[in-house]
Chain A
Amino acid sequence: MIKAIFFKEWIKTRWCFFIALVVTTGMAGYSILKINKLVSLKGAGHLWEVAVTRDALFIDMLEYVPLIVGIVLAVVQFAPEMQRKCLKLTLHLPCSQKRMIFSMLAAGLTLLLTCFIVNFGVLYACLPAIFPSQLVWRFTLSAFPWYLAGVASYLMASWIILEPTWKMRIVDITISIFVISIYFLAPAPEAYNSFLPYLTIYTFMLIVLSWISVSRFKSGKQD
């Protein structure tokens, strides 16, 4: 049954996944191309200098990409369920409701993390040719909260979409905006280093919020 759930989610989200993969990898690749262009125009030394003395990251254009991808994936995966009332059918299947809901979320998270891992792969494959390991770590560690924000946005968007009433949806959206803003407070590169382990755990714990919405849906809450 779980295999079937994963397959159903794959059918629903595969096009979104491929587009997200192309867009995020393309953005990462474009950042690398821009860096190479700058190297050919001004020399690698200028980039090192700017990275060290002015805290430049050169991959800033990726900042809100994971956030948007997370929201879009959640919308593509869960909005049809709610609109076509498919969730009701899913919850009546002969399988644990928790297992099914969390399998659906796990399927979405797997696709999202695949996108993000490919992104980091592109960065790690190209940046060490230009920058020393210290700066490559600096760039990727600084970008890590953006990708955590992508995971958080997916989980919180799922929570909002699965919520059956608009009144609570507005409350959930308000909470989500404040939570997501925590991932974008960085006043400097690597600002989150000591907070990252806790933020990562918290981000993945947000998966349980969807169960509140599903519980409310099961208890018949509606507008």
Chain B
Amino acid sequence: MKNFSKIILAITIAAIAAWLLPWCYAFVTAKAYSSPFVLYSSLHGDFIITQRDNVVSRHDTNGNEFDENEVDSLLPTMYMRQLVADGRFPDSILGKHVEPQQIQMTNFNFRSTPRDVNYVNAGIYFLFESMPKRVDLEMPDDAFRFTDNRIEFLSMADNSINEAKSDMFTRMLKEKGFTFPPRKIATNPDPRKEYDNGALLIDASGQLFNLKCTAGRPYVKQIPLPDGIIPCEAYVTEFRNRAYLGFFSATDKSFYVIMSDGSIKKTGIKTFDPKTESAMIIGNMFDWTVKITRTDADEYYALRADDFSLIKELKINRPSSYVPGLSFTSPLNKYVIPHF
């Protein structure tokens, strides 16, 4: 018994040492690293890199330096407010007449991190009324969940199942070829959004569906996928330009845009694994700058805003701060599990 007790104590001390010593080493030796701010300029035809170390430097990939005002002019969709305030906002950009309001309507930001994907979901979702009588969206008075063979709407006031609505939505999903239970359910439960694109569902057979509640009735649309493409993560987007239904990433690490009419377009992003990599998209009416944060480098892709084809790419290596050791938490997920 004494030996067994000592083994348990030794394992405990070893685990604590393997956990804390690397953490202390990383804490003491950590060096500040500021990731540069990179945006593609369609006017310049190159990435503009803003590096903030001791001094701020702004340059392109060929090393041409710019001052602040020049960068404002090269990135008019990003610095639109500054250009308007200075009276420098151009009448047209790339031969196209533009108004500041147009820029505001078409600019968007999108962000996905592994922690948004790797966590235990509550299993309860909200489906807004997509055609509300009032201008502002309101939180619905019911929530939904999926069982192995149906969708169930739960009245939140008394925690009871709304059988009529559940049957109506289940029937519609089955009619449209949906296979229960879904692998993934993506919604945006933010009542401050301007409109509602419903939910994106990846069913048990790997098909992608859009589910909405329109005037209290179900609207289900299957999103046609190319052969061999199996979506693994879906994102509902409700940007102001209303051009897109959402995004999805596939098991082959490709990334697609779902247009508002339900058609899909493959982007020029080489690979993106939402479980291990972060993505940030800063989009405007001419181009998208996509940043994929991998373990050792940040990769930037400039995409055309109309067909999402690749214009240019850039890779910036990051200094590794990896220290081997035992850890219970991870920046890649919201789980507590020991891992090396």
Contacts and interface: CB of A to CB of B under 8 A. Distances in A.
Interface of A: 43-45, 48-49, 51-53, 98, 128-132, 134-135, 138, 145, 175, 178-179, 182, 185-195, 205-206, 208-209, 211-212, 215
Contacts of A195: 335-338
18 contacts: A44-B156, A48-B124, A48-B156, A51-B122, A52-B124, A132-B159, A175-B13, A185-B329, A187-B329, A188-B120, A188-B334, A189-B122, A192-B335, A192-B336, A193-B335, A208-B1, A208-B4, A215-B2
Interface string B255-267: 0000000000000
A211 B123 contact: no
A179 B16 contact: yes
B139 interface: yes
Given A132-B159, A175-B16, A208-B8, 13 more contacts: A44-B159, A48-B124, A132-B124, A132-B143, A138-B120, A179-B12, A182-B328, A190-B120, A205-B8, A208-B4, A209-B8, A211-B2, A212-B5
Contact of A45 (B16, B119, B141): B141
Contact of B189 (A52, A131, A134, A179): A52
B337 A52 contact: no
Contact of B337 (A49, A129, A190, A194): A194
Interface residues of B, number: 37
Nearest to B191: A49
Contacts, number: 103
A45 B138 CA distance: 12
A211 B156 contact: no
B168 interface: no
B126 A49 contact: yes
Shortest beta-carbon contacts, A-B, top 8: A188-B334, A190-B120, A45-B156, A134-B123, A208-B5, A211-B5, A195-B337, A191-B336
B125 A191 contact: no
Nearest to B334: A188
A168 B238 CA distance: 60
Contacts of A192: 335-336
